[in-house]
Structure 1
């Protein structure tokens, strides 16, 4: 995804005189040709992440559309005050493009991991958050973000990828599989694992690549069959007379439960249960590999199958 980001953004710099890129060493080698052609719109501030975001805010004040890029831990966590003030408080916009968020570079250790980045941005108003699951999706969502006027957009790139892209529009949830017993929302690069885990389950699988704003209407529509009795029985009550609930599992490649509040808000008018699966809060101190971290957090197909089936009581 990061390679696609470099190639696509380099092309856009040639075509869109309003676009500017601010970097803090990370990925600078890839943007060297673009910097040579556009030295006034490709700026490397060095390893100074607070300055990086401040420069992005300054570029926005001049009328440019800044693209601000580095690792997620240095883009959202370290300069959070600047993100809050230089964009939110000043009323400016930018496209923050991160790399190596949750555990994409295990050898970098916890200093280079940011599983709480989306949850942190949730404390601020007005941010759109894209989480592509394939390089083609990353390009489509970057194109959408660059053209989004002066909006505040976060694009979370990953080393992990699904095998094939899906059509994404920068807005709603996409229905990948339909079922009657519950709903599983798979975010970004975890879709393939979710599909493998739920292959034998009678559940609807929704795919999310734009998680903020959260598509409340699509989630309500997806849970409607179970609430109407499509899973058996009549009305909103089960065979024993108990009230049916909208059962939803969220599978996110960042901090577990990040979108639980958004899902609960969407279902506030109906009985519901929400299970948030994702990266755990406990620090895993062995570097290992991406695959080992995925399994340790229970986000591989086997781990997901066990927890999802238990939640749906199968």
Structure 2
């Protein structure tokens, strides 16, 4: 199976041919995928070099001229390093762009902590008006990229990862998908953690919701699920644990509820290892999720297959 990032350059290159408003801004990372597009559209495919603050500033300038910029690099260099420019050049000036990241929370462990960004979605949560897509499969990534480019002049973040579910699912860029129904709690799985969540909850009487878009948060979808399954809610997110806990509490503010936020911990792991070792260390493997979800919702425990 190809990766989400494998889909990125071909899809956006095609959109460049179709949409004269579209522009691409790169900071060295990913430039090889756009060589042909740069030849065809030299005025709309820009590489600013290893200058991430300029990456965002140039995108904002293009947006202010009426273009729709797609901006790409690793998540840590796209959201964290140039955060002031994201806040001011885009947000304060009311300029829209599509930020497309790679490397996610720990996709490239050998790159070290400088190339990890488990706090990216939480950081964007401090700003107003961002749509955040977290696909869990290359097919979903392609769909959401097309949604993002077509989203007028909105500010959109698309979080790509090498981690992926085996099966892509239909996504409309807005709502939760109900994957499994139950009566003793709701488990909301975001993007590439769905397969682990399904393995972890096999045989448990819980509803499993799948989210590929987390901002805006589908409050109505969560309320419908909890009306049937109860108001114990477990969030499983592939980034900083508890990032969406406030959104859950806001959605259920008029009813008693409990929330358990599972995801990447704040503890820095200094032995970088493999992706699978990071998942296990953060409790995001199926066996660990089984223990934590089962303990929270109080469902009878059945051995999990891993």
- Tell me if 1:273 matches 2:276: no
Structure 1 unaligned segments of length 5 or more: list them: 228-245
Q: 5 Å matches for 1:122-271? A: 122-227=125-230, 246-271=231-256
Which of residues 274, 281, 285 is equivalent to 2:270?
A: 285
Aligned residues: 296
User: For each residue in 1:216-239, what CA deviation from the matched residue of structure 2 results, as whole angstroms up to 9, or x when unmatched?
Assistant: 001011011245xxxxxxxxxxxx
1:313 shift after superposition: 2.1
Describe the SS at the equivalent of 2:235: strand
User: For each residue in 1:87-121, what CA deviation from the matched residue of structure 2 results, as whole angstroms up to 9, or x when unmatched?
Assistant: 11001100000000200000000000000000000
Task: Report the counterpart of residue 303 of structure 2 in structure 1.
Answer: none
TM-score normalised by L of structure 2: 0.96
Task: Report the counterpart of residue 47 of structure 1 in structure 2.
Answer: 50
Distance (Å, rounded) in 2 between the aligned partners of 1:173 and 1:312: 21
User: For each residue in 1:182-235, what CA deviation from the matched residue of structure 2 results, as whole angstroms up to 9, or x when unmatched?
Assistant: 0000000000000000001000000000000000001011011245xxxxxxxx
Contact 2:184/2:229 (CA < 8 Å) preserved in 1? yes
Distance (Å, rounded) in 2 between the aligned partners of 1:295 and 1:9: 34
Distance (Å, rounded) in 1 between the aligned partners of 2:227 and 2:7: 38
- Tell me if 1:88 matches 2:88: no
TM-score normalised by L of structure 1: 0.94
- Tell me if 1:299 matches 2:284: yes
Query: Runs in 1 of length 4+ with deviation above 3 angstroms?
Result: none
Root-mean-square deviation (CA, aligned residues, Å) is: 0.6
Describe the SS at the equivalent of 2:6: helix
Contact 2:30/2:73 (CA < 8 Å) preserved in 1? yes
Structure 2 unaligned segments of length 5 or more: list them: 300-306
